[in-house]
A and B are shown apart, each in its own frame.
Chain A
Amino acid sequence: MASNLPLLSILIWLPVFGGLAVLALDTWMPGRAEQRLVHWLALAVSVATFALSIPLWTQFDRATDAMQFVEQVVWIERFNVEYFLGVDGLSMPLVLLTTFITPLVVISAWEVIKQRPAQYFAAFLIMEGLMIGVFSALDGLLFYVFWEAMLVPMFLIIGIWGGKRRIYATVKFFLYTFLGSVFMLVSLIYMYALSGSYSILAFHQLPLGITEQTLIFFAFLAAFAVKVPMWPVHTWLPDAHVEAPTGGSVVLAAIMLKMGGYGFVRFSLPITPDASMALDWLMIGLSLIAVVYIGFVALAQQDMKKLIAYSSIAHMGFVTLGFFIVFAAFANNPGGSGAMLGVQGGMVQMISHGLVSGAMFLCVGVMYDRMHSREIADYGGVVNTMPKFAAFLVLFAMANAGLPGTSGFVGEFLVILGSFQANFWYAFLAGTTLVLGAAYTLWMIKRVVFGEVANDNVARLTDLNAREFLVLAILAFAVLLLGVWPAPLIEVMDASVAGLLEHVQQSKL
């Protein structure tokens, strides 16, 4: 039994120290980067982290909504801050998503990143540890530390390895997200003042009046809405994606956005259930705007990364929609499965979006490495020169358009079924993604992949090499597996989602 090991701590600190080791190796043994020693070390660390995260899945008790793999020691005694870690069905899949995506990012950067590769890999490894920290922290202050610290490596990744307008993008990214999260800190401190502890689980039980709940709700909303991102605080994302290097885009889309969604189920819903219920119309409205408005905006994009970035925002709209239809679903169809479908759908959508958007950004990266362009107009007929790549891209595009049999379908399907039970028109507006998602995704595919070879640059393209093939094949396998058989994933979340729904139905007033 590995359960005696502090597994979560290992998962957090192994990549962090691994990242530092990569830096140390590069500093004290210069020239090793050319021999790919730092590459192999980074890969070893990320693969080891993934391997060590597997027990989280295999030893997870699916019958309980209690926290598991708990570690709890006093950190700052004077303020009752604890080093308190643990995962439940809501956070464990996100930890696994993080450990699964990071090795792929490392492999995808193998020979592409020529400038300071050691620092690049170190940034990703350190960021991995911090992100796992975010998903497993159960102490509010610890959570906040991870939440903010994680911005630094991402800030560096975009700022150093990014594109031409990287400075504008990094400042926008940093200020947006930092500004959002200071309000969260105020709320955390306020609740500490009330409860005398930073334990998030204690916050869940904290009795709060409606005014307090409303203020706290908005404070959290500022932090989480920016991260998701929800309309109208989403405009940093397309800029950040366009300027970020491929790996940065992948982690941003696949993992970092999920922190916003995770925040809603870990903080907003259980801590402020009455405010959430009173303001669910706002959240549903913003989510539906994200689906419809952003769907149209995506149609107008000329830059592939921007298009996928906008498509991400629309897809994340399903996450927030699924989470906040629960009250209307309870009211409109008591005894129905609407609320369960909504939250489960939102959770599955987060995992699936992590795989699909990550894969889409990797695909754009593959093309960008060869052509140094992200403009749709510079491409055309890629299938003629890159047939294997085209097959992968069409598969991921179909997953992005929510085709059944791929993971992209599962979350959208559950959320639409759930929102029908809340209100016909919620389902109607959410359902427009079937048309809009297909239109913007496949129109891009039509212009990029199909047709005659458009120009000499496309004619000179070479198909995937073994490294790229491996990364895309792993993701394709995961996307298909989750689409054909999502039951295991839904099963691990089941008890926690049910527990959450039971909790939010209890008024704190």
Chain B
Amino acid sequence: MENIYLSIVLAPLIAAIVAGLFGRQIGRAGAHTITILGVGVAFVLSVLVAKDVFIDGAEVFNQAIYTWAVVGDLTMEIGFLIDPLSALMMVVVTFVSLMVHVYTIGYMHDDPGYQRFFSYISLFTFAMLMLVMSNNFLQLFFGWEAVGLVSYLLIGFWYRKPTAIFANFKAFVVNRVGDFGFLLGIGAVLMYAGSLDYVTVFGQAEQMQAQSVNIWGEAQWSALTLTCILLFIGAMGKSAQVPLHVWLPDSMEGPTPISALIHAATMVTAGIFMVARMSPLFEFSTAALSFVLVIGATTAFFMGLLGLVQHDIKRVVAYSTLSQLGYMTVALGASAYAAGMFHLMTHAFFKALLFLAAGSVIIGMHHVQDMRKMGGLRKYMPITYWTSLVGTLALIGFPGFSGYFSKDALIEAVHAAELPGATYAYWCVLLGVFVTALYSFRLFFLVFHGKERFDAHTREHLHESPWVVTVPLILLAIPSVAIGWVTIGPLLFGGAFGTSIFVLPQSDTLAVVAEHFTSPAGFVAHGFMTPALYLALAGGVAAWYLYLKRPDIPAQLQDRFHRLHAVLENKYFFDAFNEQVLARGSRFFGGALWRGGDQGIIDGVLVNGSAKAVGWIAGISRRLQSGYLYHYAFTMVIGLSLVLGWLLIRA
């Protein structure tokens, strides 16, 4: 098996290296052939692995590949842990990546950096696979930062664009704030559990819970709570949770295929995956779970609201992604890890679909992204239209679509949670359903229905995208509809995750949901008795009324509530605060330390001051001053000889 796992990660890596270093020699066709081949191999093998794990019930594989370093008693290794959790992620990652590779042929058709782009996305696939297949914290951090690197390179792919290179810088630094917490979390794991290997560390969870540590003042923390919160700060960076979410909307400056692959389906879900992986730790810390719950709920609701005021089609989808990541996080906080992972999977399909559909629209509109200049695209782009509708219905959780199963299950689980903050979280995710439906259909109606708001020139060239674009849309639409029916039973209630997710019996919220789960169809029927469904429908109707029936109303609302609108328009002033206070403050502080500390005090007073003092003394004994360095050195040697003589006499 080891060779299969190695092939899964190495195939995309080798393809990336070849396309990256020899792009010119192999040409465009060569670059996309080899990378698609690499990712294709990884996908097929991942499916085989998933079949082994889920259907044939293969044993968990946990083995080192090579030893990275041995420091004292501590062995740090690179190795794989293949269990249901990683197998699921491997399939999702390689499938979406494969779709995006194919789609890229169409989307990046005219781009001079064609080969480079394929090299990057294959490299990303490698890094993401290393992350999800890891069996230890070191490799997790490797993958964690490596996906961040590729994200940096891809957001700044169009490196001439000032907004793009600002966005990638911002993304990297904000992610580093999260990684800072994450690295300290790994330090805590090593300190309190004495190992970096998952299985060993998980075995220490209760012992860590019992240890108390004192990091500030008199307050005693459980070592486990400290560890989990530090690790979760890493997840907040990568999975863009408030207040470290600010980089994700800006990351839309990158080409659309990577928005789908990295900033919707895979990389941003790394934090969710990580917490699910760490469930044997988080389960024992109520405080950490509560923290996760509240952060997730805040992100889910308040980021969704921002989607309502965006005009750029990709940014609406980006805020939707933030909000949906919040949903997944809430599920984790409610100990419904399986529901979080389930939503991660369904979201990967329908959100990748929505992004790629948005990309298809952008191709059709010749790289116009402003929805105010669209409208009525339905008849020009039928495939994009219908697949977008599927994605939208899945996103709002329309009964029977994949998003319905995952979102409803997690809302129910949050409802059953009893942690501090659970009530707040429940209201956030519930009201979030209305908001989701409202911004989703706002986008849908503004783009595909209503009046055509573009010029004649655009209309002439407007047509459906080529097959390399539409085929991935169709292939992603299929799981967006069907995957929920097939997988809800085994994943949530059938124990398909096996031992890879650990839940304490007393906090098992999904068990409560399971009580009224009979079959997928029954679950759909049950949905008609919950408020979530009606909120979603209300959101859709409201969008229809506001943006198709009476398009004058939104402007009036905007005038009436201009204060609120300003808050939303300015994204709760997070960016302004970060730029004006943190970034400028740091630069100012750095400048002050440099001019005041280094140049002023150290050089000005101490160094040059001493030099002046020497000069003053020398002024008195001017004759000794020759100005030659060797005279000074000679004087020093004489002084030394005196000291030496004294020491020798004394000895």
Contacts and interface: CB of A to CB of B under 8 A. Distances in A.
Interface of A: 171-172, 174-175, 178, 182, 185-186, 189-190, 193-194, 232, 235, 293, 295-301, 333, 336-338, 340-341, 344, 381, 383-384, 398, 403-405, 409-410, 413-414, 416-417, 419-421, 424-425, 427-428, 431-432, 434-435, 438-439, 442-443, 446, 449-452, 485-487, 490-491, 494, 498
Nearest to B215: A424
Contact of A413 (B176, B183, B593): B183
Interface stretch (B305-313, B525-533, B640-648): B640-648
Given A299-B590, A405-B146, 13 more contacts: A174-B629, A182-B636, A193-B648, A235-B603, A299-B586, A341-B71, A414-B71, A416-B187, A450-B159, A451-B160, A485-B66, A485-B68, A486-B69
Interface of B: 66-74, 141-142, 144-146, 149, 152, 156, 159-160, 162, 165-166, 169, 172-173, 176-177, 179-180, 183-184, 186-188, 190-191, 194, 213, 215, 586-587, 589-591, 593-594, 597-598, 602-603, 606-607, 629, 632-633, 636, 640, 643-644, 647-648, 650-651
B607 A172 contact: yes
B587 A431 contact: no
> B70, B141, B165, B187: which has the most chain A beta carbons within 10 Å?
B187
24 contacts: A182-B636, A186-B643, A186-B644, A189-B644, A235-B603, A296-B593, A297-B593, A300-B593, A337-B73, A340-B71, A341-B71, A403-B145, A413-B183, A416-B183, A420-B188, A420-B190, A425-B215, A438-B176, A443-B169, A451-B162, A451-B165, A452-B162, A490-B69, A494-B71
A305 B646 CA distance: 45
A405 B142 contact: yes
B159 A404 contact: no
A432 B180 contact: yes
A296 B590 contact: yes
A235 B607 contact: yes
Contacts of B643: 186, 189
B148 to A, nearest CB: 8
Given A420-B190, A439-B173, A490 B70 contact: yes
Nearest to B68: A487
A90 B55 CA distance: 53
Contacts of A299: 586-587, 590
Contacts of B633: 178
B174 to A, nearest CB: 9
Contacts of A338: 191
A297 B607 CA distance: 19
Dominant SS among interface residues on chain B: helix
Contacts, number: 164
Contact of A333 (B152, B162, B191, B587): B191
B68 A434 contact: no
Contacts of A409: 145
A446 B169 contact: yes
A381 B73 CA distance: 48
Contacts of B651: 193-194
B160 A381 contact: yes
> B68, B160, B162, B176: which has the most chain A beta carbons within 10 Å?
B176
A451 B159 CA distance: 6
Contacts of B636: 178, 182
Contact of A420 (B142, B165, B184, B606): B184
A186 B645 CA distance: 11
A337 B597 CA distance: 36
A182 B635 CA distance: 12
Contact of A383 (B159, B593, B603, B647): B159
B69 A487 contact: yes
A235 B589 contact: no
> A194, A414, A424, A427: which has the most chain B beta carbons within 10 Å?
A424
A404 B142 contact: yes
A30 to B, nearest CB: 29
Contacts of A297: 590, 593-594, 597-598
Nearest to A189: B644
Contact of B176 (A434, A446, A449): A434
A410 B593 CA distance: 29
B187 A427 contact: yes
A302 to B, nearest CB: 10
Given A293-B593, A297-B590, A494 B70 contact: yes
Contact of A431 (B145, B152, B184, B589): B184
Contacts of A491: 70
B591 A300 contact: yes
Contact of A300 (B166, B183, B213, B594): B594
Contact of B640 (A185, A341, A452): A185
Contacts of A398: 149
Contact of A487 (B67, B173, B593, B606): B67
- 9 closest A-B pairs by beta carbon, nearest first, are A420-B187, A340-B72, A296-B590, A300-B590, A299-B590, A300-B591, A193-B651, A450-B165, A450-B159
A232 B172 contact: no
Given A189-B647, A296-B590, A446 B166 contact: yes
Nearest to A292: B593
A498 B73 CA distance: 11
B169 A442 contact: yes
Contacts of B173: 435, 438-439, 442
Nearest to A193: B651
Given A235-B607, A498-B72, A439 B586 contact: yes
Nearest to B587: A299
Given A435-B176, A450-B156, A487 B190 contact: no
Contacts of A420: 184, 187-188, 190-191
Contact of B598 (A235, A417, A443, A485): A235
A417 B159 contact: no
A409 B159 CA distance: 26
Nearest to A297: B594
Nearest to B77: A487
Given A432-B180, A442-B169, A235 B602 contact: yes
Contacts of A381: 159-160
A296 B586 CA distance: 7
Contacts of A487: 67-70
B159 A298 contact: no
B394 to A, nearest CB: 35
